Amino acid sequence: MESLLNVIRSNMLVQAVVFIVLGLFVLLWPGVTITTVIYLFGAFFAISGIASLVSYQRAASPAHHSPAVLTSGVFMLVLALIVFLFPEAIASIFSLLLGIVLALCGVVSAVRSWELRPLGGYTWVVGLVVSVAVAIGGVVIIANPFETTLMFIYVLGGLMVLNGAGDLLIELAARREQRELRARR
């Protein structure tokens, strides 16, 4: 039991320090954070595109080659290339695109939730409320894209610091509990 507590404590301590350091980094350098996220999206697009092309090439026979797989692979690689060549431009319009995507996803989810109404129950209401909230959030981002992104980055950094501080407090409490457990023996 004591070895398990030691492992948990060491993991929580490392996690707390990492969250605090990353949170402070995000708070102090929000521009770098946004650019890094853009590069991560570029890497995601590149990996997805390569995976699609490999999947296309590995098909059992040429008759099984799907043009949709090839097209999506090429499209993802072109997106990755655009992101890597123009990260500042992408970062500047990222918020606007994010707002549009959120608004559209919210509307689509709201329509899907509304279609679940005939099945009975109230789960469709929850889906509808969440979907409308997402759509409204998307509209707010569209209306004020750059300040919204910066505020999101600051909130994210602050939450990371708070999470790390909370983990540190939990780790200290676990350490104190472990000492008291030893003292009782």
pLDDT digits (tens, 9 = 90+) for 5-41: 566 666 777 888 888 888 888 888 887 887 888 899 8
pLDDT at 80: 94
Angle between helices 30-57 and 67-85 (to 10 degrees): 150
pLDDT at 45: 92
Model confidence pLDDT, tens digit, residues 160-182:
888 888 878 877 777 777 788 78
Compute the radius of gyration of the chain from its Cα atoms.
23
Q: What is the mean pLDDT of residues 45-50?
A: 93
Model confidence pLDDT, tens digit, residues 133-152:
888 988 888 888 777 777 77
Burial tier of 95 (Cβ tally within 10 Å: 0-12, 13-18, 19+): buried
pTM attached to this predicted model? 0.53
Find, among 137, 134, 135, 109, the residue nearest to 123 by Cα.
109
pLDDT at 49: 92
Question: Residue 67 is part of which domain span?
Answer: 2-184
Identify which has the larger pLDDT, 61 or 99.
Answer: 99
Q: Could you give the CA distance from residue 17 to residue 172 in angstroms, rounded to a whole number?
A: 13
Q: How many domains does the chain have?
A: 1
Identify which has the larger pLDDT, 73 or 60.
Answer: 73
pLDDT at 50: 93
Model confidence pLDDT, tens digit, residues 92-147:
777 787 788 888 988 988 888 888 788 777 778 888 898 898 889 888 888 887 77
